[in-house]
Amino acid sequence: MSTKAIKEVKLKNLTITLVEDNIIRIEVDEHCIVDIDEVKEVQKVKRSLIGDQRHSVLFITPKFGTMTKEAREHSASKEVNIHAMGKAIVLNGLAMRILANFFINFNKPPVEHRVFENEEDALEWLRTLK
**DSSP class per residue in the chain:** --S--SEEEE-SSEEEEEEETTEEEEEEPTTEEE-HHHHHHHHHHHHHHHTT--EEEEEEPPSSEEE-HHHHHHHTSHHHHTTEEEEEEE--SHHHHHHHHHIIIII--SS-EEEESSHHHHHHHHHT--
Residue 17 lies in a domain: yes
Residue 58 lies in a domain: yes
pLDDT for res 1: 44
pLDDT for res 92: 86
Residue 2 lies in a domain: no
Q: How many domains does the chain have?
A: 1
Give the dihedral of Cα atoms 105, 119, 34, 38; nearest 10 deg.
-110
pLDDT at 2 over 70: no
| Per-residue pLDDT tens over the stretch 5-61 | 789 999 999 999 999 989 999 999 999 999 999 999 999 999 999 999 999 999 999
Domain of residue 46: give its range.
7-83+92-110+119-127
Residue 105 lies in a domain: yes
pLDDT at 89 over 60: yes
Could you tell me the pLDDT band of residue 3, with boundaries at 50, 70 and 90?
Answer: low
| Per-residue pLDDT tens over the stretch 93-121 | 888 888 888 888 888 989 999 999 999 99
Instruction: Tell me the whole-structure pTM to 2 decimals.
Output: 0.90
Residue 1 lies in a domain: no
